[in-house]
Amino acid sequence: MDLNEDQITLRDWLHGFALNEMRPIAAEWDEREETPWPFIQEAAKLGVYSLEFMMNNFADKTGLSTMIALEELAWGDAGLCMALMGTTLGVAAIVANGTPEQQMEWVPQCFGTPEDIKLAAFGVSEPDAGSDVSSLRTRAHYDEASDEWILNGTKTWITNGGIANVHVIVASVDPTLASRGQASFIVPEGTPGIRMGQKFKKMGIRASHTAEVILEDCRVPGRCLLGGKEKLDEKLARVREGKKSSSQAAMVTFEATRPAVGAQALGIARAAYEFALDYAKERQQFGRAIIENQAIAFKLADMKMSIDAARLLVWRASWMAATRKPFVAGEGSMSKLFAGETAVKVTEEAIQILGGYGYVREYPVERWHRDSKIYTIFEGTSEIQRLIIARAISGVHIR
């Protein structure tokens, strides 16, 4: 279970980046609640925000490099980490659903260059379709005469929504087929008919931009349908005949990204645990360090144990995905669920250990708690992860 030399080098490099480039500016960007462009530029210059960085990590056959990288970046700051990683949601959708030609064309455009930064976004959620992605109202109609798809609808809670250069939008082509009638479309930069709606003010990860995306007669070329029309027509025909379709556009992307979300939650939990451990050794009350009380020491023991258990689940799921082992018991969901809930619990305990100092903005612990909560909500809520696991282990269609 030792990490190899490349993984150790990656971890140590990113730990230094997190410590020197993220920690010092984290509180400022949390307060500003804006996209941290200078930070993204710096990350691109240093090679942390780039296609090459993502590909190198992805090429690790053990599946661990991406998890190690994300844990360190989220340890630095989850909001800044998401400002870098929001793009990978769009990229994951292109890689999961696009043809090799589409991947070659669009993925580089999601990152741009250090001199000309680009962002991507992945839009599934809608005001009336969050957990229930089968009920999307955004429609895609094909205009045969012009070989264009026309998109109409409203997406909400979209990371990098409206500011991204490349939007990947999941829309319904045939609403009667629910999620099996959906497809993913690229909306290239500068396409008329796509705009940002309201930008949300959030509890945590505030350096990451979250907004509505409104599509009004947004026309994209036929080649922007991920996977191509022939494949979509074949899939729709199979579904209409009552045969199983191999993939549901949004679900394929979420399956691939869940352990990565868990790894970020893990980074926040570790940050809070380390801070609380140091504090508990230093803080004196009743003439002794507070860690000398079992009530505090046992909290720290439980925090460390949950973090290590979460890491093992995250690494296992990522290793299974990389080595193409099927998730027979919802292992991807387990990793995201456990790590997300661990982050919430551990950061709350860290506040308790710091007492009043945990509750004020002078210390980072309250921010870590605010940041942690989203990990039980996005990319499938904790309830939905439990549903996936329960269905997988039972074979019963639990509702």
Out of 41, 154, 245, 381, the residue judged to bind ligand FAD by CB under 6 A: 381
44 neighbors 102 (Cβ within 8 angstroms): no
Scan for tokens 């769009």, then name that residue. 90
Report if residue 130 touches ligand FAD, rule: CB under 6 A. Answer: yes
Q: How, if at all, do strands 210-221 and 148-159 pair?
A: antiparallel
- Report phi then psi at 112, rounded to 5: 70, -145
166 neighbors 89 (Cβ within 8 angstroms): no
| Class of residue 285 by CB neighbours under 10 A (exposed 0-12, middle 13-18, buried 19+) | exposed
Out of 158, 169, 249, 344, the residue judged to bind ligand FAD by CB under 6 A: 158
Nearer to ligand FAD, 210 or 335 (CB): 210
For residue 213, the SS3 value is strand
Report if residue 374 touches ligand FAD, rule: CB under 6 A. Answer: yes
Q: Taking the mean position of all CA atoms in its chain, how far away is CA 387?
A: 20
Q: Which two tokens stand for residue 243?
A: 């045969």
Minimum CB separation from ligand FAD for residue 264, in Å?
Answer: 12
Minimum CB separation from ligand FAD for residue 10, in Å?
Answer: 26
Question: Which of the residues 64 through 103 are near ligand FAD (CB under 6 A)?
Answer: 89
The closest residue (CB) to ligand FAD is 130
Find the catalytic residue in 212, 331, 349, 379: 379
Nearest Cα to 377, choosing from 265, 227, 238, 278?
A: 265
Q: Which two tokens stand for residue 309?
A: 């258990």
Nearest Cα to 197, choosing from 126, 289, 132?
A: 126
Q: Which residues contact residue 398 at a Cβ distance below 8 angstroms, ignoring those fewer than 6 apart? A: 387, 390, 391
Q: Which one of 108-116, 151-159, 241-249, 257-265 is the stretch in contact with ligand FAD (CB under 6 A)?
A: 151-159
362 is catalytic: no
Report if residue 198 touches ligand FAD, rule: CB under 6 A. Answer: no
Minimum CB separation from ligand FAD for residue 258, in Å?
Answer: 12
Minimum CB separation from ligand FAD for residue 86, in Å?
Answer: 7
Minimum CB separation from ligand FAD for residue 253, in Å?
Answer: 9
Report if residue 210 touches ligand FAD, rule: CB under 6 A. Answer: yes
State the catalytic residues. Answer: 379
Q: Which residues bind ligand FAD (CB under 6 A)?
A: 89, 122-125, 130-131, 157-159, 202, 210, 374, 377-379, 381, 383-384, 387
